[in-house]
């Protein structure tokens, strides 16, 4: 009796899962058909070598899809995402993406994009992650420690999350600039900039945090300028 009930439960679960996944496959077919009708050469053009001008390093959060919020088509932006949009000097995954984008695809812009209401930032502030995530979010806590006076000066819990998300963009964009990959690229060419943006879930708008660095820019000055802008946004 019990095994029959369990069997039925497993079948229902399987059906529900198949239906959910089928929706994605159906959506994909409609999308491919729509693009094909809009431009019969759409997919044949994408078959050629990709040549995106942008590398987007953003958070894995499902509400911040790079192509959609920037209005870019497939082929126009190379994307790396992880929880908290972190650029860790020993993270071979992220470094390989930066290397591929800068050295092979010759992107012209690397953009680190954080977002307000970031769950990773919130968990880091609350020390509530646990498990492997706790090790990863330790990097965000390091950013918090580096800017402790500013984060402590802001009163509201959500304001703290948003401020730390912006400070984190500043630090991770700086890490991109300090990577050997970007330093070497700047020795060879001038047309590479590193920028830092924050995305607001509230209104869907991207905000330039004033961090725009190329090979001729003094990194410390760029950091000071961006930090002053972030501080002015929070009055701290
Ligand atoms: Zn996030």
Mind listing the pLDDT tens digit for each residue in 111-141? 999 999 999 999 999 988 778 888 999 999 9
* Catalytic position from the list 59, 80, 94, 122: 59
How far, in Å, is the centroid of ligand 1 from the Cα of 221? 27
Angle (CA) 192 193 199, round 5°: 140
Q: Is there a catalytic annotation at residue 177?
A: no
Name the strand (E) or helix (H) holding 162: helix 157-178
0.75 surpassed by pTM: yes
Rounded to whole angstroms, the Cα distance separating 191 from 39 reads 32
Please state the φ and ψ torsions of residue 56, each to the nearest 5 degrees: -105, 120
pLDDT > 60? residue 1: no
Helix (H) or strand (E) holding 212: strand 206-213
Q: How far apart are CA 136 and CA 13, in angstroms?
A: 33
Beta-strand (E) ranges in 66-165? 77-82, 109-115
How does pLDDT run across 38-75, given as a tens digit for each residue? 999 999 988 877 899 999 999 999 999 999 999 999 99
- Is 30 labeled as catalytic in the residue annotation? no
218 is annotated as an active-site residue: no
Sign of the CA dihedral with 7 first, then 8, 9, and 13 last: positive
How do the domains of the chain map onto residue ranges? 1-48, 50-234
Average pLDDT over residues 171-181: 98
**Distance, CA of 118 to CA of 112 (rounded, Å):** 14
CA 207-209-211 angle, to 5 degrees, is 135
How far is ligand 1, taken at its centre, from the CA of residue 202, in Å? 14
- The residue from 80, 109, 115, 116 that is catalytic is 115
List the Cα angle 190/194/196 in 5-degree steps: 160
Q: Which fold has domain 50-234?
A: Beta-carbonic Anhydrase; Chain A (3.40.1050)
Place of tokens 């059906």: 15
63 an active-site residue? yes
Average pLDDT over residues 143-151: 98
Annotated catalytic residue within 23, 63, 127, 189: 63
Is residue 118 annotated as part of the catalytic site, yes or no?
yes
End-to-end CA distance of the chain: 65
**Per the residue annotation, which of 109, 118, 122, 139 is the catalytic one?**
118
Say if residue 231's pLDDT is above 70.
yes
């Amino acid at each position: 009796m019990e095994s029959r009930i369990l069997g039925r439960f497993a079948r229902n679960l399987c059906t529900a899962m198949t239906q959910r996944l089928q929706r994605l496959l159906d959506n994909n077919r409609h999308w491919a058909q729509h693009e094909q009708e809009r431009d019969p050469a759409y997919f044949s053009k994408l078959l050629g070598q990709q040549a995106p001008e942008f590398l987007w390093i953003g958070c894995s959060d499902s509400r911040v899809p790079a192509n959609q919020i920037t209005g870019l088509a497939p082929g126009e932006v190379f994307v790396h995402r992880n929880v908290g949009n972190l650029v860790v000097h020993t993270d071979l995954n992220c470094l390989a993406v930066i290397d591929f984008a800068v050295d092979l695809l010759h992107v012209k812009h690397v953009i680190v994009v954080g977002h307000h209401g970031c769950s990773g930032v919130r968990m880091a502030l609350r020390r509530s992650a646990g498990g492997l995530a706790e090790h990863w979010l330790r990097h965000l806590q390091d950013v918090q420690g580096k800017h402790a006076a500013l984060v402590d000066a802001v009163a509201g819990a959500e304001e703290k999350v948003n401020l730390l998300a912006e400070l984190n963009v500043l630090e991770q964009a700086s890490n991109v600039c300090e990577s050997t990959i970007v330093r070497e690229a700047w020795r060879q060419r001038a047309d590479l900039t590193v920028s830092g943006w924050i995305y607001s879930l509230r209104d869907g708008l991207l905000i330039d945090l004033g961090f725009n660095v190329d090979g001729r820019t003094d990194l410390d000055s760029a950091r000071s300028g961006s930090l002053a802008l972030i501080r002015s946004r929070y009055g701290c």
